[in-house]
Chain A
Amino acid sequence: MRRGATRHSLLVAGKSGRTVDELIQLLAGMGLPGLLAQAAGMLAVCAIIIGYIAVASMFMIWWERKISAHIQVRLGPMRVGGWHGWAQSIADGVKLLLKEDIVPTAADKLVFALAPIVVFATALATYVIIPFGPGLWTKNLNIGVLYYISISSLTVVGIIMAGWSSNNKYSVLGAMRSAAQAISYEVPLVVSVLGVIMVVGSLNMEAIVEYQSSRMWGFFPGHWLVWGQLVGFLVYFTAALAECNRLPFDIPEAESELVAGFHVEYSGIRFAMFFLAEYANMFVVSAIAVTMFLGGWKGPVLTLGFLSPGLAAKLWGLFWFLTKAYFLIFVMMWLRWTLARLRVDQLMHLGWKVLLPIAFLNLGFTGLFLILKDVWWGS
């Protein structure tokens, strides 16, 4: 356990927010006063993150359509933009922007407008702790994982706000179902992550990745936590699918069920925000899984001649991280187009009576193992 890190008085600082601090120092060096440099630096990082989310979501939407098409013996988008319809998402985004913004007459206008903002803002806020590479994070919080868990529970608030403000009884019921699903699966999600935290001994994302860094036999990533915490990983992945409202847990979005979803009254850019938030969430969930179970950004680093070692480490770290995260996203999409939908009561049964006991057993065995390890082999 690392104790006694020096702390800034203002922001909650972890070991280092290296890249961001470097950026701020760069700006300060250019002559901006301290406060302004900090603000400018933070804004710049925020812009980068939002830009990344926008591009990544558009890519994921196109990719999903392609994957679903090829699984279903079709081709998917082929024309828009030339090569395999790569500009399809952009076209869809433009279309959504140009759509008429319909607000139901008796809806509560303020809450109706706030709901998609809350949902998207919480999705955005969880990007603070994602470690894209060594030093490539917005802020290395000491409470890294806990921060993600608490912010992700705000999504439920946004969903309920959306459902209620649409002034539609079916919307309210859909929102409550969605909220019930989200909070039911939050508990196994948290408990499965606790196993990893116990083994590593810290909530800090960088510490978790560093723990998984050594290799066996020169190349095999033997210390990835997915091997030791396989049960935890599976529980986490299942619960994460449910948090993102993806099939087989997409009751809130399925239109062939009796009750329509919570965002049925939203159109145009407001609907686009819900949609973007869902894909942003998918990425965050995969990123957390990669960090906690699959070794984060660790992977072989090849210094090509013209790159400095620091920069090479950063770029390769980013590459490995994104590869692993998008592989998990691919698995999520694969599952969506292969499996059928769970009924609502079966969903609840799975969350409370299957995943939660398994997660607790995992936690118990992990704790037992850690204590016995100390006793037998000495700490």
Chain B
Amino acid sequence: MTAAQVLFYLLAAFTVALALMVVLAQNIVRAAVALIFSFCGLAGLYLLLDAEFLAAVQVLIYVGGITILLLFAILLTSRIAGKGVRVLNEQKLLSGLVAVVLVVLLGAAVRRGFPALAARPPQPENTPAIGELLMTTYALPFEAVSILLLVGMVGAIYLARKEPR
């Protein structure tokens, strides 16, 4: 049992537990905080896969951007000490069954599709490699994404501005 395996199981358990808390928490802000930590767990898993750029960007964008956005939205629109919402409804059993079936199917698909790697081939340094790919092979999707972001920003500013009286 190498250290890598230990770490992997710990991180995976951490991430899954927190993800469950996101879904099952009574308090919406607790759910958001659990989401933050599960994203951090995911970043740890990326690190184990030697994808360090992705891990850093995961923290920067998901945790430092998207969850902040979520928290702002929650704080601005909900009562401070709000009562919990009803999390589970009558279809508990059916949804649990569907979730288990989905896990089994996905697990089987993953095992079938990806044979175990004996040794991981050495990876080039992440950041320059990704940079080169984005600027050469995938330049068009890169530009398309930036236009999409621009459209999103303009839309947000337009929606949020005060109506001139």
Would you give the 0/1 interface string for B104-137, flagging 1 where the beta carbon is closer than 8 Å to chain A?
0000000000000000101111111000000000
Q: Are A10 and B64 in contact (CB under 8 A)?
A: no
Q: How far is the CB of B58 from chain A (nearest CB, A)?
A: 8
Which of A92-100, A161-169, A318-326 contacts its partner?
A161-169
Q: Which residue of A lies closest to B124 (CB)?
A: A3
B2, B57, B125 — most chain A CB neighbours (10 Å): B125
Q: Which residue of B lies closest to A145 (CB)?
A: B56
Q: Are B127 and A146 in contact (CB under 8 A)?
A: yes
Complex interface: chain A residues within 8 A of B72 (CB): 160, 176, 179
Residues A3-49 near B (CB distance < 8 A):
3-7, 9-10, 12, 35, 38
Residues A189-236 near B (CB distance < 8 A):
203
Q: Is A1 located at the chain interface by the 8 A CB criterion?
A: yes
Q: Which residue of A lies closest to B40 (CB)?
A: A154
Q: Is A60 located at the chain interface by the 8 A CB criterion?
A: no
Which of A106-114, A354-362, A366-374 contacts its partner?
A106-114
Q: Are B125 and A111 in contact (CB under 8 A)?
A: no
Q: Assuming the A-B contacts A179-B72, A183-B68, are A164 and B29 also in contact, with contact meaning beta carbons closer than 8 angstroms in the complex?
A: yes
Q: Is A153 located at the chain interface by the 8 A CB criterion?
A: yes
Complex interface: chain B residues within 8 A of A89 (CB): none
Q: How far is the CB of B130 from chain A (nearest CB, A)?
A: 11
Q: Are B3 and A35 in contact (CB under 8 A)?
A: yes
Complex interface: chain A residues within 8 A of B65 (CB): 153, 183
Residues A89-130 near B (CB distance < 8 A):
106, 108, 110-111, 114
Contact of B68 among A111, A143, A164, A179 (CB under 8 A): A179
Residues B29-84 near A (CB distance < 8 A):
29-30, 33, 36, 47, 50, 52-53, 56-57, 59-60, 63-65, 67-68, 71-72, 75-76, 80-81
Q: Are A153 and B124 in contact (CB under 8 A)?
A: no
Q: Is A142 located at the chain interface by the 8 A CB criterion?
A: yes
Q: How far is the CB of B43 from chain A (nearest CB, A)?
A: 8
Q: Are B3 and A38 in contact (CB under 8 A)?
A: yes
Q: How far is the CB of B28 from chain A (nearest CB, A)?
A: 11
Subset of 20 A-B contacts with CB under 8 Å? A3-B124, A4-B124, A12-B47, A12-B52, A35-B3, A106-B81, A111-B30, A146-B57, A150-B63, A151-B59, A153-B65, A156-B68, A157-B67, A157-B71, A160-B75, A161-B33, A164-B80, A176-B72, A183-B65, A183-B68
- Besides A153-B64, A169-B80, 15 other CB < 8 A contacts? A2-B125, A3-B124, A12-B47, A106-B81, A142-B126, A142-B127, A143-B126, A143-B127, A146-B56, A153-B65, A157-B67, A160-B68, A167-B80, A176-B75, A203-B127
